[in-house]
Structure 1
Amino acid sequence: MAESGESNKNKLKLYSYWRSSCSQRVRIALNLKGLEYEYIPVNLLKGEHLSPDFLKLNPLGYVPALVDGEIVISDSFAILMYLEEKYPQHPLLPSDLQKKALNYQAANVVCSSIQPLPTQPLQNMAVLKYINEKVGPDEVIPWVQSHINKGFAALEKLLKDSAGKYATGDEVSMADLFIEPQIHGAIKRFNVDMTQFPLLSRLHEAYSELPAFQNAMPENQPDASPSSVT
């Protein structure tokens, strides 16, 4: 259905790359909150994230970037907190302070233990290319797996007493938005053995039943490469 010019003008815009786990967590949040948005692909392989136009939105050249009217936010954690405050429907954070703190901790495990920067995946192309050239191609996957395994082991311990159907209870929360994209990437791209992480494996199964999560999957994005869904 065609939308009016005013409707398009006010629509949220998400600059995203289909395989970016940071972008994926924002897509999940938008889906959960029922927010319509315009998906604007940024092809990292073609260097579009370094174009002058995109660097005006995010000088660091990372995806995702969210545009809401005159407001531009370019860090996934900041985007989620912004969405939580401006669009309170389907809260991403529980009211219980202990559970809220647990969500922050789980998100930080993903950001700091599995990713070297809060907005850029550890498995990004530049890092993998560097390891391939400086260490050797046979060391790339083991190196990535070691960091993922360390982070996943920490999440298993952190969530063992709090997890319900989802990470911190029986309602989807912010922790889940960080965890699932990382699990998906670990399985699809880096062949991580998930049998050593029973709690995360159970959560992964639960997420597979949620349309908001499945619609945000990399392979379901308009810029997904048909020849490469891993």
Structure 2
Amino acid sequence: MSDLILHGYWRSSASYRVRIALALKGVDYAQVTHDLRSGAQRAPDYRALAPQGLVPALVAGDTVLTQSGAILEWIEARWPQPPLLPADPGDAAIVRAMAGIIACDIHPLGNLRILQALRQDFGASEDQVSGWIARWIGDGFTALETLVARHCGRFAFGDSPSFADCRIVPQLYNARRFGVDLTPFPRLCAVDAAACALPAFAAAHPDRQPDADI
């Protein structure tokens, strides 16, 4: 039995990021699923573990880690090879900035609880919700496309996967789910294709998780 337990959900893009990082590092872990559609993440026993009632949470012995960005930083410190951040501080800051566009400025505006609030609290139609999603993904991807074009090799920054790719691939998965037009973002799509050809990214894909309902 693995010493690491990842609490997540197959289609959660934040959980997907962590699965990618663990797979790239070759780290074994067990999974516990919380179906976000049924509100399982708000159950008292899970909130005792992760007070926000959000996934993912990573349990490592007596340590409980929440927030995917913090979890990725911990993984990088615990298993430095292969590195997911460049050694140069300036380059590492650029990778973190790419990752932050997704983690801070795109994903929070399109996650399930926000979309539910738009529908339930403001009476938004499905067309309006789709427009909302496309707006914020499009704005973020426009900036990210420029940064990736400036710094990419095979991947978002140079020729090795980084924190940026751990976030870009799940966000593109979300964009496709919601029917967002990706033709304005050829660099992001090329990075996604290169990453998804790697076994680690393929193993982390939502459709390959034990709780996937496909």
TM-score, normalised relative to structure 2: 0.95
- Equivalent in the alignment of 2:169: 180
Paired with 1:52 and 1:135, the residues of 2 have a C-alpha distance of 30
Q: Which residue of 2 aligns with 1:124?
A: 111
- Is contact 2:10–2:212 with CA below 8 Å preserved after alignment? yes
Larger helix proportion of the pair: 2
> What percentage of aligned pairs have identical amino acids?
43
Please name the residue that 1:11 is paired with.
Answer: 3
Shift of 1:89: 2.1
In structure 1, the partner of 2:23 is: 31
What is the Cα-based RMSD across aligned positions, in Å?
Answer: 1.2
Q: 1:170 aligns with which of 159, 162, 167?
A: 159
Q: What do residues 73-98 of structure 1 show as CA deviations (whole Å, max 9, x unaligned)?
A: 01100001111111112111110222
Structure 1 residues not aligned, in runs of 5+: 1-7, 117-121
Please tell me whether residue 203 in structure 1 is matched to residue 191 in structure 2.
Answer: yes
Note if contact 1:132-1:139 (Cα within 8 Å) is conserved in structure 2: no
Does the aligned pair in 1 maintain the 2:161–2:195 contact within 8 Å? no
Contact 2:148–2:188 under 8 Å retained in 1:
no
Is the 2:49–2:64 Cα contact (8 Å) retained in structure 1?
yes
Aligned to 2:181: 193
Deviation, 1:136, is 2.1
1:97-152 deviation digits (Å, cap 9, x = unpaired): 22101111011100222023xxxxx3333322232342322211111001000000
Question: CA offsets, 1:166-185, max 9 Å, x none?
Answer: 00000111111011100111
Out of 217, 220, 230, the position equivalent to 2:205 is: 217
Residue 71 of structure 1: how far off its partner (Å) = 0.8
The aligned amino acid for 2:171 is Q
Q: Is the 8 A contact 1:131 1:137 kept in 2?
A: no
Tell me, what secondary structure is at the counterpart of 2:81? coil
The answer on 1:77 being equivalent to 2:66 is no
Paired residue for 1:52, among 40, 44, 51? 44
Which residue identity lines up with residue 66 of structure 2 in the other structure? S
Letter in 2 for 1:192: V
Q: Which residue of 1 aligns with 2:145?
A: 156
Q: Counterparts in 2 of 1:141-152, with a 5 A limit?
A: 141-152=130-141
Asked whether the equivalents of residues 15 and 41 of structure 1 are also in contact (C-alpha less than 8 Å), the reply is yes
Are 2:165 and 2:192, in contact at CA under 8 Å, matched by a contact in 1?
A: no
Q: In 2, are the aligned partners of 1:114 and 1:147 still within 8 Å (CA)?
A: yes
Determine if the alignment matches structure 1 residue 135 to structure 2 residue 118.
no
Q: How many residues align?
A: 212
SS of the aligned residue for 2:64 comes to strand
Q: 1 CA distance for matches of 2:127 and 2:163?
A: 35
Counterpart-to-counterpart distance in 1, 2:27 and 2:77: 14
* SS of match in other structure, 2:150: coil
Query: How high is the TM-score relative to the length of structure 1?
Result: 0.88
Matched-pair contact (CA < 8 Å) for 1:18–1:219: yes
Q: Give, as a single letter, the amino acid of the residue that structure 1 aligns with 2:46.
A: F
